[in-house]
Structure 1
């Protein structure tokens, strides 16, 4: 009598039809992993937590044409794939071309209308800054995309070296902030167009007022299909313009979490290290911190262009909004738009600032632990680690022009307050002169 199953390698069952039983396959694979711990470690490392942490902002980047690479939705970084000849790259190029077109028309209008009022030039220069900065963001991501897989693989490998690494909290935080910043940017954009449409006294056609793009219609005249296409392009550029802050916030929170987990693991284990194993323990911790330090410098190098663009743009538009605040707001819609727009700029600026400064704060978080090491365990490895943590400044920079720390935030806040005081004084002098 023939048995119903044939035993293959004593682990996999094959029925008479040649089908392999799923339960026994899984059992066999688990046995293989136990026999080969290295293989199991590589498999676990490939399912990187950094891929999961950045999943939401990276998927959104794909929607708005940034970072044209395959595999961002997979937890396995090995599935990341960059292709020059792909529809994602084509989509990115089309959006860049649209952005260049908008920027060119804004520059053309600025040059043509130099003789008109200051108020008009103020609005046009804002358009140039808006489209120009969005274009720089797109180009920065095109430069970054070719290095992305190698960048993420190094990040995943470093995460796997941290014992009991936890990322669920930071995943939720990144996802929440991403959604909040996206909805805030969409709300601000719709509010801007709505208030312009409802307060356009010279144009009774509300749809035309909503879709009209003065930079383009000043050259071609108004056409509903051209206006609709220009509006959609403008909306897409708006999302790109806001994305640099979303991306930098996510990157900063993930990197800061690595230092936080290192400090947490150090706090839990440092006091229980046997005296005879103290040197080897602290050597491993110093080497791990050194790896974190080197990688933080790599992150700083790759993000520095975006940091410079983000801070320059945010500071510029905060100043523009403060300038508008001294002008009379004649309607409720204008007041609502000013509050919504200024609140959005402050929200995205604070998000990226607090996230970026947390890198520096957590990189110094191990110092209290190092200072409390008992005398009998203190050795050269502890001293070397203490010196490194104390002397190094691990933080994001804007192409080395500035370092993002809490002191920078105070400096920016002081500059903005000074600017507002000068504006108020200048406005008072103008009113006195006019009267």
Structure 2
């Protein structure tokens, strides 16, 4: 058979190609998650419809963002007609930041989706060449599906709660869309500008933006679960090797040589795993920064609104502020704890090495101990900060500090200043 015929034969037989489809449960779930993310505009598939839909979502978000920024500029310049309620500078800025987050989330998620093929190939290759029989994680797939379903449902419930808090419980069905858009998007649209053709896309894009915001946290948690699972499997393998060596202390030199070879393969597996974490960290660093920033900002905002407006607002709106605050805190804690588990699991093997019998010590055990103790493995925000448990305390301290400052400057003079701006306004 000639070389040309051989190449044609290999192309027609996918099972003989070097890049065979992987059967890793984590990669299977992530592929499905990315495919479903195309519904909210994440670009990764090369199908024409997906490209068109993603471009449409991004175009509408950019148009809304430009409108929101222009209204913020007019509000800061004092030339906005209406500065009350949802048209104040704070509300306009919050709405602008919300859609800015949606745009960046869409871009970064699309970038990750398009590079996921290379990451998944590396992920599968590391698994194949690990040369260590690590036990399978039988619950990983179920836990990942649970996280996806739970976070999506909670995000939609929080969004529905925001709609109810905006329109109230006494709103007639015929005015639901109008009241919701005028209140929730008051920073973009005035009452005389309202139109059903304008309102329906706004309501739809609000839901898409909420799902995009939720999707970035899902990605961080799911990838962290996958990396943590791999470290957990390696640690289980190390524990079994330690237990077997404990039973073979009195074995001959041939077994000693075999043990050195086993420990070398185990050490190389930890090296490859650390390399994989750094590769993934480089790919999702931007998403981590965006997630931490937007969650921090909206926690401060919802806590501030809940404290300052709880007396003047309706009970349903006050309840929404604190329910939304609780959900945001839950997301932040879940993201940080899931990511910090990678660092915890990467160093967990040290305690088994320290307690290992000295009679079983060899050069590879010492190298592995030195490697695990000095090599810091963790997810980060492009190197600016590390996702560890201590960052939760830092964020809590920063939130309390900012809230005290905001509450201190939130006095009656603010309302008087807004009234003066309204009286001096010259038009929208």
TM over 0.5: yes
1:197 and 2:167 are equivalent in the alignment: yes
1:159 and 2:159 are equivalent in the alignment: no
Superposed displacement of residue 93, structure 1: 1.3
Distance in 2 (CA, whole Å) between partners of 1:400 and 1:306 is 13
Deviations 1:90-136 (A, max 9, x none): 21111111111111111111111222759711111111111111111
Superposed displacement of residue 243, structure 1: 0.8
Q: Tell me, what secondary structure is at the counterpart of 1:46?
A: coil
Distance in 1 (CA, whole Å) between partners of 2:359 and 2:378 is 33
1:409 and 2:392 are equivalent in the alignment: yes
Distance in 2 (CA, whole Å) between partners of 1:219 and 1:108 is 17
The question of whether the paired residues in 2 share the 8 Å contact of 1:279 and 1:381 is answered with: yes
Structure 1 pair 195–219 and aligned structure 2 pair: CA distance change class (3 A): closer
Structure 1 pair 328–136 and aligned structure 2 pair: CA distance change class (3 A): closer
Deviations 1:41-73 (A, max 9, x none): 986x7222222342553343122121423xxxx
Q: What is residue 32 of structure 1 aligned with on the other side?
A: none
Q: Tell me, what secondary structure is at the counterpart of 1:184?
A: helix
Unaligned runs of 5+ in 2: 1-14, 246-254, 415-428
Distance in 2 (CA, whole Å) between partners of 1:415 and 1:244 is 23
1:303 and 2:284 are equivalent in the alignment: yes
The question of whether the paired residues in 2 share the 8 Å contact of 1:321 and 1:342 is answered with: yes
Q: CA RMSD in A?
A: 2.9
Matches within 5 A, 1:122-137: 122-137=90-105
The question of whether the paired residues in 1 share the 8 Å contact of 2:303 and 2:321 is answered with: no
Superposed displacement of residue 195, structure 1: 1.3
Q: Alignment partner for residue 89 of structure 1, among 51, 55, 65?
A: 51
Unaligned runs of 5+ in 1: 1-37, 70-82
Q: What is residue 258 of structure 2 aligned with on the other side?
A: 277
The question of whether the paired residues in 2 share the 8 Å contact of 1:195 and 1:333 is answered with: yes
Superposed displacement of residue 147, structure 1: 1.9
Aligned residues between the structures: 378
Q: Alignment partner for residue 140 of structure 1, among 108, 115, 131?
A: 108
1:263 and 2:235 are equivalent in the alignment: yes
Distance in 1 (CA, whole Å) between partners of 2:149 and 2:220 is 14
Deviations 1:238-294 (A, max 9, x none): 111211001111011111110011001111122314433221111101111000011
Q: Alignment partner for residue 253 of structure 1, among 221, 225, 249?
A: 225
Q: Alignment partner for residue 139 of structure 2, among 146, 164, 169?
A: 169
Q: What is residue 68 of structure 1 aligned with on the other side?
A: 44
Q: Tell me, what secondary structure is at the counterpart of 2:360?
A: coil
Distance in 2 (CA, whole Å) between partners of 1:172 and 1:415 is 36
Q: What is residue 326 of structure 1 aligned with on the other side?
A: 307
Q: Tell me, what secondary structure is at the counterpart of 1:326?
A: helix
Superposed displacement of residue 168, structure 1: 2.9
Superposed displacement of residue 311, structure 1: 0.3
Distance in 2 (CA, whole Å) between partners of 1:430 and 1:109 is 23
Superposed displacement of residue 200, structure 1: 9.6
In the superposition, the TM-score normalised over structure 1's length comes to 0.80
Q: Tell me, what secondary structure is at the counterpart of 2:357?
A: coil
